[in-house]
Chains A and B, each alone.
Chain A
Amino acid sequence: MLSAIASSGRRRVPGSYLRALATAALGLRQASTLLYVEHNGAGGIAPATLSAAAAAAQHLPGPLEALVAGSGDAVARAAQSVATVPGVTKVWTASDPCLERPLAETHAKLLADVASKLRPSHVLAASTAQGRNVLPRAAALLGTQPVTDVVKILDDNTFVRPIYAGNAFATVQFRAPPAIRVVTVRPTAFPAAEGSAAAAAPAEALAPELVQGAAGVRAAVWEGADVKASARPELGSAKVVVCGGRALKSKENFAMLEELADLLGGAVGASRAAVDAGYVANDLQVGQTGKVVAPDLYIGVGISGAIQHLAGMKDSRTIVAINTDAEAPLMALADYGLVADLFSAVPELLEEVRKAKGKA
């Protein structure tokens, strides 16, 4: 059973056929990527995983195989969705009650065991809360140093990642390529694969002994969650992000930003100061230690622009700053800076955008 897994799922794409022959002749493993899939349990694939899939399809050699872990119907539904993602050549599924929640202990064990059997050249995931929780643990089980939050893949062994809150970019390379390279990619750096593949990739259940290995680990017990459902687009992948800072002065005043975001079809974010003051929930924090966003349009309202906040938004295509302080660091970064009191400027902006939308 295990040997069947190790030898199957090696469909070659024509362009890499010669390369495959060459590596086979040299007795090396063939390049392939195992993608760790993040899903919502209802068949929805995390947008960040679609970005990771696109990164692998475009920048890493060999076939792209996806691993969907979960419990019950959720696995089949997610597998069906991921099978049509462009570039995906094979979907491995693992279904067990111990995998229902994406606990690091069980998911990392499964991922490491599957990687040990399939011997991909890369294990890849998106650098989300879940990816960052699971992948380093899996890497430790494999005895390899992971590369996290990659923004550029130069070749299958060389990656670029931000350090010092995005104030520098380090190009890192494995000294001696390890058997398996564990990598997480920053979703905003790789546009999500659009459309769907002409044919769905085949799906296959993993051998039961692999799945049972995960059930045997000493794991945390999931007790509950407080996850807010929002009609707005997800912060990390929104095309427009309206961010508010401490200057909003209250939770109630954030309603104007929500109205503006809704009008623009965008998401609401916040600075650490606004989160700490209790104006919004902490999962809306944009910055080095919160979400990294790179929308087409970022509007920073009452945000001075500490290094840690800039780290989370400076790759936005167009940046607008609205602040009473003309010397604020965010003003220096902004494509368009409006020195004004936000309490008059935002209502006026709502009015103008409504007018502009009406004309369009």
Chain B
Amino acid sequence: MKVLVGIKRVIDYAVPVRVKADKSGVEALLPKLSMNPFCEIALEEAVRLKEKGIASEVVAVSLGPTHFQDTLRTALAMGADRALLVAPPAPPPPAPGSAAAASPPSDPAAAASSPDALPSPLGVARVLAAVAGREGAGLVLLGKQAIDGDCNQTGQMLAGLLGWPQATFASKLEGAKGGSSVRVTREVDGGLEVLSLSLPAVVTADLRLNTPRFVTLPAMMKAKKKPIEALTLAQLGLDPSRDMEPQLATLRVDEPPSRAAGRKVGSVADLVRALREEARVL
């Protein structure tokens, strides 16, 4: 069984972000981009499936500009056999009336941080569906959400487009060598749920599926020899204007509402008094 893993490059989870002055998007306070943490978990699971002899090949795929190769290189160092980088369509013009329309960002780095610069989950799902078909994937593993857009949609949409069964928010994945199904434990409201999926299927990883391995220097050196294939949308049979057109425009991005300053209380008695008399919540 061939396993396809979707990889997204995002602002590192530990880097604070702030809303840009022109409200066109957010900017990172440090220029550090990394693999989305949930994608790392999905990839780790795929590599473990290969180590157990269940998966025959692990293929990492990302949609993005050429410099996304860095992230795919990390994926290869973690144990993916090869990688595919699909070139995205040119970013759409900003929506009329949006903050970005007033001052179009001139440098590519600024453009990349605009929320509309990257394809929507529906566009990504269409690309992944085409890649899954081309590769003859038996299982597609994705993260449950990207920590930038927080959409939590791509895996579900991909499964819908392919007509494959899905198991989202997976915390355990069991399969057998040469088996035709996988057993997935899902994190749901109130507890856990176990599903059995006949292959091919789509699974999205939750935090507790595994702990991704660290990339060692020898693995990184070895990864340099592994192939990264560049693909265009046309090669996948996709029409950028029809399949990748973003249906949503981000009009503006705002700061979260700020809270009134709090204060320190000296004792538990003070705290209870404040909660009763000021906040009136007791």
Q: Is B236 an interface residue (CB 8 A)?
A: no
Q: Assuming the A-B contacts A145-B120, A222-B195, are A164 and B148 also in contact, with contact meaning beta carbons closer than 8 angstroms in the complex?
A: yes
The answer to whether A178 and B147 have CB atoms under 8 Å apart is: no
B positions within 8 Å CB-CB of A:
11, 13, 16-19, 26, 38, 95, 115, 120-122, 125, 144-145, 147-154, 156-161, 163-169, 171, 183-184, 187-198, 201, 206-208, 246-256, 259-260, 262-265, 267-269, 271-272, 274-276, 279, 281-282
Residues of A within 8 A of B198 (CB): 218
Q: How many Å from the CB of A246 to the closest CB on chain B?
A: 15
The answer to whether A221 and B262 have CB atoms under 8 Å apart is: no
The answer to whether A228 and B191 have CB atoms under 8 Å apart is: yes
Residues of B within 8 A of A171 (CB): 250-254
The answer to whether A337 and B262 have CB atoms under 8 Å apart is: yes
Chain A facing B: main interface SS: mixed
Supply 14 A–B pairs (Cβ within 8 Å), ascending by A: A104-B166, A132-B168, A133-B166, A140-B157, A140-B161, A165-B150, A168-B19, A171-B251, A220-B195, A221-B197, A223-B194, A276-B208, A307-B13, A352-B268
A positions within 8 Å CB-CB of B:
103-105, 108, 128-130, 132-141, 143-149, 158, 161-176, 178, 217-228, 236, 240, 264, 272, 275-276, 281-283, 288-289, 291, 296-297, 307-308, 314, 317-320, 326, 331, 333-340, 345, 348-349, 352-353, 356-357, 360
The answer to whether A225 and B193 have CB atoms under 8 Å apart is: yes
Q: How many Å from the CB of A325 to the closest CB on chain B?
A: 12
Q: How many Å from the CB of B68 to the closest CB on chain A?
A: 19
Residues of B within 8 A of A339 (CB): 264
Q: How many Å from the CB of B181 to the closest CB on chain A?
A: 8
A144 to B157, CA, bound (A): 10
A297 to B275, CA, bound (A): 9
Interface residue from B17, B160, B259 paired with A138 (Cβ < 8 Å): B160
The answer to whether A137 and B248 have CB atoms under 8 Å apart is: no
Q: Assuming the A-B contacts A137-B157, A222-B195, are A282 and B247 also in contact, with contact meaning beta carbons closer than 8 angstroms in the complex?
A: no
A74 to B59, CA, bound (A): 44
Q: List the B residue with the shortest CB-CB distance to A221.
A: B196
The answer to whether A283 and B190 have CB atoms under 8 Å apart is: yes
The answer to whether B152 and A148 have CB atoms under 8 Å apart is: yes
Q: List the B residue with the shortest CB-CB distance to A264.
A: B282
The answer to whether A220 and B166 have CB atoms under 8 Å apart is: yes
